[in-house]
Amino acid sequence: MAKLLIVDDDEGTLAWMGEALTDVGHEVRAIRGGRAALETLRAWTPDLILADILMPEMDGFVFSRLAQLHERVPVMLVSALKKEAEAILRGVAGYIQKPVTASELRSAVERVLGAGARDVAILVVDDDPDIRHCYRMILEPRFKVLEAEDGREALAVLETATVALLIVDVHMPVMNGMELIRAIRNDPRFAMLPVVVQTSDRAAARAPVWTDLHVAQTVIKSDFMEWLVAHIEEHITSGDAAASRGR
């Protein structure tokens, strides 16, 4: 079984999560707050860290970046916030949204522990090849970037590749972004796949349908490059620093 560190500011959450994971044989340490957890990492290296996002003194994203600098310890975020897309771009190993049952928590932990070293794939769906090229330039080499020029091609990619995140345009020929997202939400295999919608159509960006389709983020295309860079910046910094430590 694995060594797990749970970091949360709520004592009740620490207690039930710790019990859920020790019951299946994991060695668990539960720490209240990011600063105390970083102190623990000085003397003890877990196989996986589970951390909340909303914590005082240090939020989960900041803690995740600092924890990954310590021997590249992987972090899975467990939060009530719908921030999975941001979490992927910042390099976390996994994400699960509260409320979560003990069974769901254990399953998520096993998935992350079983994944090992792997490329994280992001599928960019846009009918403009120049736009796709720009996204590829930003995302590589930190991520494996797959491309599709419309929704139908994207569905074909999903049949053959494991994708962690979709970045989807709205207005495309053959099958547009809304039709694509409806199709994947109706498929149990992709029902929880995180999606970011980027579009030049401000009216489309404000459409309430994206909430119904559980879209993680909707961004105006002119702002999207800045949004991407902002959310992978800490991942890049963490990765470069960890690589330097390993040399």
| 121-229 matches 3-115 in CATH topology | yes
Question: Which residues have CB under 8 Å from 34's CB, separation 6+?
Answer: 7, 51, 55, 57, 58, 59, 60, 62, 63, 66
Q: Report, as ranges of residue numbers, the positions in the chain whose pLDDT lies below 70.
A: 70-71, 116-118, 233-247
How is the chain split into domains, by residue range? 3-115, 121-229
Of the CATH numbers 3.40.50.2300, 3.40.1390.10, 1.20.1370.20, 3.40.50.1000, which one belongs to the domain with range 121-229?
3.40.50.2300
What's this model's pTM, rounded to 2 decimal places?
Answer: 0.76
> Strands 144-148, 165-168: parallel, antiparallel or unpaired by DSSP?
unpaired
Tens digits of residue pLDDT in 57-87: 899 999 998 887 766 788 999 999 888 888 8
Name the fold adopted by 3-115: Rossmann fold (3.40.50)
Tokens in use for 203? 């009216």
- Tell me which residue has tokens 């495309």: 172
Residues in the chain: 247
